[in-house]
Amino acid sequence: MNKYILGISGGSGALYSLAVLKGICDSGNICYLTTSEPGRRVLSLEASLNLTGNPDSDKKILKDNLSIDDEKLEVVDENDVGANIASGSFRTKGMAIVPCSTGTLGSIANGISRGLIERAADVCLKERRALIVVPRETPYSLIHLENMTKLTKAGAIVLPASPGFYNLPKNIDELVNMVSSRVLEKLGIVSSNLKEWKGT
């Protein structure tokens, strides 16, 4: 049983974040989840999940709606910069930020920790652990691209939420699964939703 961190910031893409959360927990691992206030607004708008920022109540909402086992999910207050995931001595296998807003992307790329999401990401970079950032923005400005380059050079993987169509998806869930399974793969978690391209 490994420990993973999932950050949800304020970009569009709540379905991606929920699929990654469920994928981590369903694979028998523990997910330490932290959400920003804009991230919670997106979850409310796009997934009708009204998280409050209170770890206990948010954990119950997510468990009930996603059928996650109690021991597989820990919700951490975004303002608790003294939390376990804020320290390199707390050993995790890595972190994904899904979605990753361009503001969060810029903060991490420039070493600015505004809250727990950025701090936990900074820890993953300095400890040489997996860090997967999933921006969902279009178009990208030069500033966005330069920040992505900085993060890539620092060891992160930039995985834009850009689903493909070569597997002929039939619904939104299949598009979401394509992106979420790639995120899980980069964290070292095998997802049954990952469909390999077999060639023509």
| 197 pLDDT higher than 80 | no
Task: Tell me the average pLDDT across 159-182.
Answer: 93
pLDDT in tens, 123-137: 999 999 999 999 999
Question: What pLDDT was estimated at residue 184?
Answer: 97
User: What DSSP string describes 103-133?
Assistant: HHHHHHHTT--SSHHHHHHHHHHHTT-EEEE
Q: Which two tokens stand for residue 54?
A: 């209170």
Question: What pLDDT was estimated at residue 196?
Answer: 76
Q: In CATH, which of 3.30.1050.10, 3.30.420.40, 1.10.1060.10, 3.40.50.1950 is domain 3-187? A: 3.40.50.1950
Question: What pLDDT was estimated at residue 111?
Answer: 95
| 68 pLDDT higher than 90 | yes
Question: What pLDDT was estimated at residue 123?
Answer: 97
pLDDT in tens, 93-122: 999 999 999 999 999 999 999 899 999 999
Q: Which residue has the tokens 């060891």?
A: 155
d(CA 7, CA 30): 14
Question: What pLDDT was estimated at residue 37?
Answer: 96
CB 19 within 8 Å of CB 108: no
Mean pLDDT of all residues in the chain? 95
Residue ranges covered by each domain of the chain: 3-187
pLDDT in tens, 6-51: 999 998 999 999 999 999 999 999 999 999 999 999 999 999 999 9
| 194 pLDDT higher than 80 | no
Closest-CA residue to 132 (of 17, 15, 2, 12): 17
Which of 68-72, 113-117, 194-198 is least confident?
Answer: 194-198
